[in-house]
């Protein structure tokens, strides 16, 4: 406790307790900080005078590790950054390497990438909705959200074998094609999901307590949001129509018909509405991706980069040699540097890869949307109450695994 206002000795502090400012630590073990985030709050009574995020508790040196691993080994590291959106992390990394290699990806692989990423976006938003509502006292939503998310994780598991760490996208395409019957299961999920989303809306959107806790809280204007580098739903909640899927289309997003959802209020409520409607848009994109699925290869025709099929490896000498060389020595990536951004569930996820030749990157840097969005917290929390901090952090939708890397 630090007193910053000097009080004459005749007035005892106990007489005017609210004239003092108090510094408290919120976290790193606070449940509503969504991980190990510590906030240093300077409080005047219950008002937040200053908030300083303290991060790094989950730092594991991932960017250093990339430099010691071959390009294809880096994919599994990306899974572990934003663990609610691992397919998005896979996608941005493999696309950057493909850009360095100037690889062409087959149509079917691109469509499957869109399909899986949008399912993953819904799953990520469902965790946000559940935990955000839980932080504000609505526990029921959490269970329903995790029930729906479980269905998506089952789909991801069916395709890749992993639920949280799929590593499904590989340099040059996919790990393997979708299993038979996968489209039917996705359609089944799609049919049920809109009804579930309607239930969530009935539970939360019309809820007076939720509205009072979120409307007018954590306001940021569009100009400030750009200045602080906010992206994704946080930026669109301030009224700016910016979606990288539309602005710099990648992996075929230019062929999909979807709406860039915006809300103009710039508060926690607006960011809530944006994400809720984004799930509907993702639902639409999944349907379009399903109808665009046509049979074809899912791996690029680049034998020196893409692992051969198991059968080919057992029967063809050259396939066996390529397989051995890729696994044992890796493949050379020409010198160069790329910055590749995608619209992940939380905002602009960018990766900077610098290659100086050889099978390992010289530098891999991730621009995590959570990292940048969290840095704006002091602005958002200015003049808020302590309880609003919980709502604001929830509305930023941060994942500490990506912030600390």
Partner 1 sequence: MEARDNQAGHADNPTISSPAGLTPSPLAAALQREHPEWISEVIEALGETTIIVPREHIVAACAFLKIAPGFEFNFLADLCGFDRGPEEEPRFEVNYHLFSTINHRRVRLKVILSEDDIHVPTVSDIWRTANWHERETFDLFGVIFDGHPDLRRILLPDDWQGHALRKDFPLRGYEPYSLE
Which residues 72-101 are close enough to bind partner 1 by CB under 8 A? 99-100
Q: Residues in contact with partner 1, total (CB under 8 A)?
A: 39
Nearer to partner 1, 30 or 365 (CB): 365
Helix axes 139-160, 107-135, angle to 10 degrees: 160
Distance CA 384, CA 47 (A): 6
| CB 344 within 8 Å of CB 78 | no
Find, among 61, 161, 31, the residue nearest to 401 by Cα: 61
Choose the binding region for partner 1 from 189-197, 253-261, 285-293, 330-338 (rule: CB under 8 A): 330-338
Answer yes or no whether residue 64 interacts with partner 1 by CB under 8 A: yes
Distance CA 341, CA 267 (A): 26
Rounded to the nearest whole angstrom, what is the least distance from the CB of residue 160 to partner 1 in the complex?
Answer: 28
Find, among 362, 400, 370, 374, the residue nearest to 63 by Cα: 362
Which residues 227-266 are close enough to bind partner 1 by CB under 8 A? 227-229, 240, 242, 247-248
Answer yes or no whether residue 372 interacts with partner 1 by CB under 8 A: yes
Choose the binding region for partner 1 from 30-38, 150-158, 324-332, 364-372 (rule: CB under 8 A): 364-372
Find, among 30, 16, 46, the residue nearest to 383 by Cα: 46
Answer yes or no whether residue 61 interacts with partner 1 by CB under 8 A: yes
- Tell me the two tokens of residue 61: 């040196």
Answer yes or no whether residue 339 interacts with partner 1 by CB under 8 A: yes
Distance CA 75, CA 170 (A): 7
Answer yes or no whether residue 312 interacts with partner 1 by CB under 8 A: no
Distance CA 322, CA 155 (A): 31
Nearer to partner 1, 80 or 316 (CB): 80
Q: Which residues does residue 43 pair with via DSSP β-bridges, in sequence order?
A: 22, 48
User: What residues contact residue 213 under an 8 Å CB cut-off, 6+ apart?
Assistant: 136, 268, 387, 388, 391
Rounded to the nearest whole angstrom, what is the least distance from the CB of residue 104 to partner 1 in the complex?
Answer: 14
| Binding test (CB under 8 A) with partner 1, winner from 16, 59, 310, 314 | 59
- Neighbouring C-beta atoms of residue 70, cutoff 10 Å: 18
* Residue at token pair 């306001």: 219
| Binding test (CB under 8 A) with partner 1, winner from 106, 239, 330, 336 | 336
Rounded to the nearest whole angstrom, what is the least distance from the CB of residue 290 to partner 1 in the complex?
Answer: 29
Answer yes or no whether residue 65 interacts with partner 1 by CB under 8 A: yes
H-only helix segments in 71-217: 74-79, 86-101, 107-135, 139-160, 182-204, 208-214
| Binding test (CB under 8 A) with partner 1, winner from 30, 284, 354, 382 | 354
| Binding test (CB under 8 A) with partner 1, winner from 134, 376, 393, 399 | 376
What does each C-alpha distance from 387 to 136, 217, 275, 393 come to in angstroms? 9, 10, 22, 10
Helix axes 386-396, 268-292, angle to 10 degrees: 20
Answer yes or no whether residue 20 interacts with partner 1 by CB under 8 A: no
| Binding test (CB under 8 A) with partner 1, winner from 22, 226, 312, 325 | 226
Rounded to the nearest whole angstrom, what is the least distance from the CB of residue 242 to partner 1 in the complex?
Answer: 5
Distance CA 400, CA 38 (A): 11
Nearer to partner 1, 132 or 405 (CB): 405
Rounded to the nearest whole angstrom, what is the least distance from the CB of residue 365 to partner 1 in the complex?
Answer: 4
| Binding test (CB under 8 A) with partner 1, winner from 27, 341, 394, 401 | 341
What does each C-alpha distance from 280 to 221, 287, 290, 295, 397 come to in angstroms? 25, 11, 15, 27, 18
Answer yes or no whether residue 7 interacts with partner 1 by CB under 8 A: no
Answer yes or no whether residue 203 interacts with partner 1 by CB under 8 A: no
Nearer to partner 1, 81 or 242 (CB): 242
Nearer to partner 1, 26 or 242 (CB): 242
Rounded to the nearest whole angstrom, what is the least distance from the CB of residue 346 to partner 1 in the complex?
Answer: 14
| CB 300 within 8 Å of CB 106 | yes
Where do contacts with partner 1 occur on this chain (CB under 8 A)? 55-56, 59, 61, 63-65, 68, 99-100, 102, 226-229, 240, 242, 247-248, 336-339, 341, 348, 350, 352, 354, 362-363, 365, 367, 371-372, 375-376, 379, 404-405
């Amino acid at each position: 406790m630090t007193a910053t206002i000097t009080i004459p000795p005749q007035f005892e502090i106990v007489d005017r307790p609210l004239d003092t400012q108090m510094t408290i630590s919120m976290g790193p073990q606070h449940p509503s900080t969504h991980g190990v985030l510590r906030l240093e709050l300077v409080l005047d009574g219950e008002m937040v005078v200053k908030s300083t995020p303290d991060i790094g508790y989950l730092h594991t040196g991932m960017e250093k590790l990339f430099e010691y691993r071959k390009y294809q080994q880096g994919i599994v590291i990306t899974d572990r950054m934003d663990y609610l959106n691992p397919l998005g992390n896979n996608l941005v990394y493999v696309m950057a390497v493909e850009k360095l290699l100037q690889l062409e990806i087959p149509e079917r692989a691109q469509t499957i990438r869109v399909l899986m990423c949008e399912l993953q976006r819904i799953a990520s938003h469902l965790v946000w909705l559940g935990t955000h509502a839980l932080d504000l006292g609505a526990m029921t939503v959490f269970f329903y959200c995790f029930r729906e998310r479980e269905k998506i994780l089952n789909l991801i598991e069916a395709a890749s074998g992993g639920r949280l760490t799929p590593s499904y996208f590989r340099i040059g395409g996919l790990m393997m094609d979708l299993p038979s019957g996968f489209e039917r299961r996705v359609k089944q999920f799609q049919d049920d999901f809109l009804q579930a989303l309607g239930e969530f809306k009935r539970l939360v959107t019309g809820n007076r307590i939720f509205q009072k806790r979120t409307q007018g809280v954590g306001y940021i204007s569009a100009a400030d949001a750009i200045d602080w580098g906010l992206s994704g739903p946080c930026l669109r909640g301030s009224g700016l129509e910016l979606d990288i899927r539309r602005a710099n289309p990648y992996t075929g997003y230019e062929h999909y018909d979807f709406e860039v959802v915006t809300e103009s209020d710039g508060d926690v409520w607006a960011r809530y509405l944006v994400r809720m409607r984004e799930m509907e848009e993702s639902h639409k994109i999944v349907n379009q991706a399903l109808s665009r699925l046509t049979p074809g290869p899912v791996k690029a025709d680049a034998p020196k980069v893409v692992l051969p099929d198991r059968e080919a490896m057992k029967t063809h000498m050259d396939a066996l040699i390529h397989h051995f060389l890729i696994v044992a020595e890796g493949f050379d990536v020409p010198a160069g540097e790329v910055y590749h951004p995608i619209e992940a569930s939380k905002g602009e996820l960018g990766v900077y890869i610098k290659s100086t030749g050889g099978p390992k990157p010289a530098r891999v840097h991730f621009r995590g949307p959570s990292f940048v969005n969290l840095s704006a917290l002091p602005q958002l929390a200015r003049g808020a109450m302590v309880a609003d901090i919980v709502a604001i952090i929830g509305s930023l939708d941060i994942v500490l695994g990506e912030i600390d890397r």
